[in-house]
Amino acid sequence: MAVYKRKGKEDAESEESGHDARRSRTRQALIEAALDLMSEDRTFSSLSLREVTKAAGVVPAAFYRHFRGMDSLGLELVDESFRTLRAQMREVRANPLPAEQIIHGSVGLYVRYVREQERYFRFAIRELFSGAASNKLAIRNELRFFISELATDLALLVRDRPVTSSDLQMIAQLVVNSMVMLTEQVLELPPERPEEEELLIDTGAKQLRLIFLGVSLWNAKPGKK
């Protein structure tokens, strides 16, 4: 006679936890597979769902348990590229340091983060200029978010200056454009050459200081808002 043991609450929670862990691993495997395939200088739009699932070692049906389609996977890659960076940059700006140290520290943090997450940023730069429309729009929205946050920070630094909100947005745009160009240069750095990395950080910091020097001297034309 078979004896069946009822599952207790702990057994059910353990089973659910194991299921969630497997789902998380599959999701991450799909993301990693897409990044690996793009490391061959391919654009995201050139990837097919079937080859991504094959590279991840899962059946195509498993893909749809995590993403609605390839566009959904692309948007997840954009979010993964910027999520941690947003938090780190906020932390740097929150530190009560002299402006020059904040600039150098922010650039250094950014350069090292790009190198650590190289595959994500190769994807982001490639998609920004020549990628799928949905990815391009998502990346531009992320950049607009950075511009908005930076403009808010700048407003606190120039309270005594006649700088309009549109001026602050323009200045923040210059900073973000400079960082996008810096990203391309970081991705071209040879591995294990710390002196070239430090030189790039110094150059990037000087470029930003030059922009901020312009902020201190800027006067909006009468009638401009």
Return the structure tokens found at 209: 């200081």
Quickly list DSSP for 144-210.
HHHHHHHHHHHHHHTTTS---HHHHHHHHHHHHHHHHHHHHHHHTSPTT-HHHHHHHHHHHHHHHHH
Give the chain's domains with CATH numbers.
9-67 (1.10.10.60), 70-217 (1.10.357.10)
Burial of 59 (0-12, 13-18, 19+ CB in 10 A): exposed
The reported pLDDT for the residue numbered 73 is 95
Angle, alpha carbons 95-101-105 (nearest 5°): 75
Answer for the pair 55, 30: CB distance below 8 angstroms, yes or no: no
- Whole-angstrom distance, CA of residue 83 vs CA of residue 210: 28
Per-residue pLDDT tens digits of the chain, which is 225 residues long: 555 555 565 554 454 556 567 778 999 999 999 999 998 788 899 999 999 999 999 999 999 999 999 999 999 999 988 887 777 777 766 665 456 677 888 888 889 888 988 999 999 999 998 888 899 999 999 999 989 988 887 777 666 666 788 888 988 899 899 999 999 999 999 877 889 999 999 999 999 888 877 766 666 565 544
The reported pLDDT for the residue numbered 219 is 64
**How far does Cα 123 stand from its chain's mean position?**
10
The reported pLDDT for the residue numbered 225 is 46
The reported pLDDT for the residue numbered 154 is 77
